[in-house]
Amino acid sequence: MLDKIKAFFNDQLDAGPTAAGNHGTDQLQLAAVALLVEAAQMDDDFGTAERSKIIELVQRRFELSEAASHELLQAASDKVDQSIQIFGFTRVVNDAFSADERVEMMEMLWEVAYADGELHDYESNLMRRLAGLLHVSDRDSGEARKRALARLGPES
């Protein structure tokens, strides 16, 4: 799956903004990370564990340096603070990601939601809404959740 996402982003860089439904790679990454930030902020405690998890995911999924990952996280945080709705972010992701990539996005979201070791009711509600907005079935979201929990290990 990771190779598929890498290939997707490489294709986007080569083809320019029109290949992703008029959304460039920077916009895609910003939208994806904004969703991760939104998940992290749902319990009103956007702490070090969640920030670290987002940086780790961004570096792994988008092959960005640590500095670039921090810049993207800051830009996404700013964008979330300025936005009153998540629909715009999900629209960008839906326009550019395949069904498998949207499930992968849900897995990333679950990792962030559980990064602090617990799932708050608000986070759970957001995850259900995001699965619907990203057109990810309950079953696929549940499987993504299981994979995320397995990756996080027994401390979650």
C-alpha Rg value of the chain to the nearest Å: 14
- Ranked by mean pLDDT, the top range of 10-14, 95-99, 139-143 is 139-143
Evaluate if pTM is beyond 0.85.
Answer: no
> Any idea what the CATH number is for the domain that residue 131 is in?
1.10.3680.10
Give φ, ψ of 116 to 5 degrees: -90, 5
What's the full length of the chain, in residues?
Answer: 156
Judge contact between 73 and 56, C-beta under 8 A. no
The per-residue pLDDT for range 50-98, each reduced to its tens digit, is 999 999 999 998 999 999 999 999 999 998 888 777 888 899 999 999 9
Tokens of 151: 């990756």
Judge contact between 111 and 53, C-beta under 8 A. yes
pLDDT at 9 over 90: no
Rounded mean pLDDT of 146-154? Answer: 88
Judge contact between 1 and 14, C-beta under 8 A. no
Confidence of residue 155 (pLDDT cuts 50, 70, 90): low
Q: What is the pLDDT of residue 24?
A: 66
Average of per-residue pLDDT values in the chain: 83
Query: Which run of H or of E encompasses 96?
Result: helix 87-96
Higher-confidence residue: 26 or 25?
26
Rounded mean pLDDT of 32-48? Answer: 88
SS3 for 128? helix
Confidence of residue 156 (pLDDT cuts 50, 70, 90): low
Judge contact between 152 and 114, C-beta under 8 A. yes
Residue showing tokens 């300025």: 82
The per-residue pLDDT for range 108-118, each reduced to its tens digit, is 999 999 988 88
Residue 143's domain spans which residues?
Answer: 2-152
